[in-house]
Amino acid sequence: MSEAIMSEAIGEIGRLRARLKEVRARGASIGFVPTMGALHAGHEALLEIARRENHFVVASIFVNPLQFDRKEDLDHYPRTLEDDLHVCDRCGVHLVFTPTQAELYPEPQMTFVDSPALTSTLCGQFRPGHFRGVATVVLKLLNIVQPDRAYFGEKDAQQLALIRRMVRDLNVPSEIVPVPTIREADGLALSSRNKHLTPAQRAIAPVLSRALRQAVELIGEGERSAAVIRERALALFAPWPEARIEYFELTDPQTLAPLDRIDFAGPVLVAAAMWLGSTRLIDNMSWPAQ
Amino acid sequence: MSEAIMSEAIGEIGRLRARLKEVRARGASIGFVPTMGALHAGHEALLEIARRENHFVVASIFVNPLQFDRKEDLDHYPRTLEDDLHVCDRCGVHLVFTPTQAELYPEPQMTFVDSPALTSTLCGQFRPGHFRGVATVVLKLLNIVQPDRAYFGEKDAQQLALIRRMVRDLNVPSEIVPVPTIREADGLALSSRNKHLTPAQRAIAPVLSRALRQAVELIGEGERSAAVIRERALALFAPWPEARIEYFELTDPQTLAPLDRIDFAGPVLVAAAMWLGSTRLIDNMSWPAQ
């Protein structure tokens, strides 16, 4: 029986940098998984792939105030640090970065990273400032950790597109690795928000992934009209008026520009957001499957 | 007699990174001076300080289209690559990064860095988009070169304040080193734009630094009203109606917020922009002197 790796938790940027300098000096590659905590099996998949592809794995746990467009959402965001550290330990994470707000934002933030074209569509149109906050904190964390590779879930498709483009556009010297979405047996994508669902809402929730799957199947069968695909998808939600569709879009996966017709050879990203009561769920699928 | 150091010019990001990886691997510190070329004695001061403080010096020469608010300004910007390489050689620069536009912007740029509060005052109010372009390209270059230290002239005070704040706000792992302005004997701050001045304009130009010097002297003598100081400064320009003052401001050097009264212990930045014909000159001085 092997010894458990005990993850080391560090809250200070200076200490983290000093520790990672030693790691780099012995030639180890560094994989990084930034999170807001409330870790679930989706995060575990990120951590396990990071572990497989790198000598040394860093996770960060930081609920970033800059990306919350609604203060009550920030206040209600689940905080489960002790459980999270156990997950990190189990996944073989070597170092967990757990900064305070004062450590990451010692002064009022005056500098922001944004990609207006990528953050004004899909979720961005309903969450002003959210993706600017995401891009800014991710760049800060990449600059602090300076990983060889950083891991992001495909579940957050717009975030992933934004971060990938940011890293290319700004020549950030880290590779961004996308990790497929982890789903429950009935298709529901894992999310820390799922725990807010009532049993009745939980029973309805898988309709979102069924509608996405139907959309990519229709494209696979040759349907080329986004309007037809959307209409067929929305029909699946009809039996459940409690499910409020915020958007259901077919887009270019890189630019997130909406597509009216699927008339090119490249991939299509089908992305949707749905409210059940006060819980907002997002999900997406790609065609062809990646 | 020692051998002249022959600067090596590299245009490709990949080759530059590979070269700098070797440099870093042998433990050498890297100093970086980003420029748009048209090098003059002000740049030489930056290069010489970089040489003194680091084992290895990188300069970049790139006329960045993203920061030109007027296309004719981009077209007319002086390009003197051969002379510039001689200057680099003379100053002991080890490596000159000379990328093409296609190398730095292989795709349409979708990601931008900005600091709205720092870029909407002083020059920023007259040059929309300029400082967003500056911040974005400087971050790209810092990510490519990953220097220990990067050198910026105090002559471009707003640019310096923006870059220093960007580096702090985004946790960029490089130190920003400000370098004092180099002046002609009559006080005119060195600038690649000075060569556009007619002899008559050149004779008038030093009034800008005289007005700034008078302002910091008045503060030193105890004057605390920004309005009084401005009024006395503007009076100096009265004999030369050809000199059009764009702004003459007393500000906080970190936030660039305008000051009405000098009623705090901290430093004051007095900054001004002046047109002579179609040439725009900027200059600034600090109180207390740095």
Q: What is the pLDDT of residues A6-29, one digit of tens each?
A: 789 999 999 999 999 999 999 999
What pLDDT score does B3 carry?
44
| End-of-domain residue from the set A145, A179, A213 | A179
Which chain B residues are within 8 Å of A116, Cβ to Cβ?
A: 112
B76 pLDDT band, cuts 50/70/90, is confident
Q: Answer yes or no: do B107 and A173 touch at CB < 8 A.
A: no
Nearest CA in chain B to A136: B170
Q: Is A251 part of a structural domain of the chain?
A: yes
- What is the number of structural domains in chain B? 2
B15 and B153 assigned to the same domain: yes
Interchain contact A230–B (C-beta under 8 A): no
Residue A186 lies in a domain: no
Handedness of CA B23, B163, B105, B72 (dihedral sign): negative
For A42-188, list the strands marked E by DSSP. 56-61, 95-97, 112-114, 149-153, 175-179
Query: Residue B1: which pLDDT band, with cuts at 50, 70 and 90?
Result: very low
Q: Does A130 touch chain B (CB under 8 A)?
A: no
Same domain, B121 and B219: no
pLDDT digits (tens, 9 = 90+) for A29-50: 999 999 999 999 999 999 999 9
The per-residue pLDDT of chain A, averaged, comes to 95
pLDDT computed for residue B70 by the predictor: 86
A58 occurs within a structural domain: yes
Q: Is residue B210 part of a domain?
A: yes
Question: Is there a single domain that holds both residue A117 and residue A91?
Answer: yes
In a domain, B24, yes or no: yes
Q: Kindly report the three-state secondary structure assignment for every residue of chain B.
A: CCCCCCCEEECCHHHHHHHHHHHHHCCCCEEEEEECCCCCHHHHHHHHHHHHHCCEEEEEECCCHHHCCCHHHHHHCCCCHHHHHHHHHHCCCCEEECCCHHHHCCCCCCCEEECHHHHCCHHHHHCCCHHHHHHHHHHHHHHHHCCCEEEEECCCHHHHHHHHHHHHHCCCCCEEEEECCCECCCCCECCHHHHHCCHHHHHHCCHHHHHHHHHHHHHHHCCCEHHHHHHHHHHHHCCCCCEEEEEEEEECCCCCCECCECCCCCCEEEEEEEEECCEEEEEEEEECCC
Residue B72 sits in a domain whose CATH number is 3.40.50.620
- Mean pLDDT computed over B205-228: 96
- Amino acid (one-letter) located at B112: F
Is the CB of B168 inside 8 Å of chain A's CB atoms?
Answer: yes
For B139-188, how does the pLDDT look when each residue is reduced to its tens digit (9 = 90+)? 999 999 999 999 999 999 999 999 999 999 999 999 999 999 999 999 99
Kindly report the backbone phi and psi dihedral angles of residue B154, in degrees, each rounded to the nearest multiple of 5, phi listed first. Answer: -70, -20
Q: What's the average model confidence in pLDDT over B119-124? A: 94
CATH number assigned to the domain comprising residue A218: 3.30.1300.10
Reported as a single tens digit per residue, the pLDDT across B220-272 is 999 999 999 999 999 999 999 999 999 999 999 999 999 999 976 769 999 99
Q: Do the Cβ atoms of B17 and B10 come closer than 8 Å?
A: no
pLDDT band of A266, cuts 50, 70, 90: low
Owning domain of residue B76? 8-179
- Which residue, among B14, B9, B7, has the nearest Cα to B104 in the 3D structure? B14
Report, as an integer, the average pLDDT of A262-268.
79
Query: In chain B, pLDDT over 70 holds for what percent of residues?
Result: 97
Give the distance, in angstroms, between the CA of residue A277 and the centroid of all CA atoms in the same chain. Answer: 22
Determine the Cα–Cα distance for residues B175 and A12; give it in Å rounded to an integer: 19
- The confidence band for A3, taking pLDDT boundaries of 50, 70 and 90, is very low
Is B76 among the catalytic positions? no
Taking an 8 Å cut-off on Cβ atoms, the answer to whether B112 and A109 are in contact is no
Q: End of a domain among A121, A150, A179?
A: A179
Q: Distances in Å between the alpha carbon of B131 and those of A78, A288, B67, B127, B158?
A: 39, 41, 7, 8, 9
Q: Which domain-ending residue is among B149, B179, B209?
A: B179
Residue A95 pLDDT > 60 = yes
Q: Are residues A175 and A196 in the same domain?
A: no
State yes or no: pLDDT of B96 exceeds 60: yes
B140, A171: Cβ pair inside 8 Å?
A: yes
Judge whether A191 is closer than 8 Å to chain B, CB to CB.
Answer: no
Per-residue model confidence as pLDDT tens digits over B50-73: 999 999 999 999 999 999 988 888
Which ranges of A184-277 does DSSP label H, i.e. alpha helix? Answer: 199-204, 207-220, 226-237
Residues B145 and B204 in one domain: no
Query: Is B263 a domain residue?
Result: yes
Lowest mean pLDDT among A99-108, A259-268, B56-65: A259-268
Give, as one character, the DSSP assignment of residue A55: S
How many H helices and E strands in chain A?
A: 11, 10
Q: Would B186 be classed as within a structural domain?
A: no
CA–CA gap between residue A63 and residue A77 (Å, rounded)? 8
Q: Does B14 touch chain A (CB under 8 A)?
A: no
Nearest residue on chain B to A166, alpha-carbon basis:
B111
Nearest CA in chain B to A115: B111
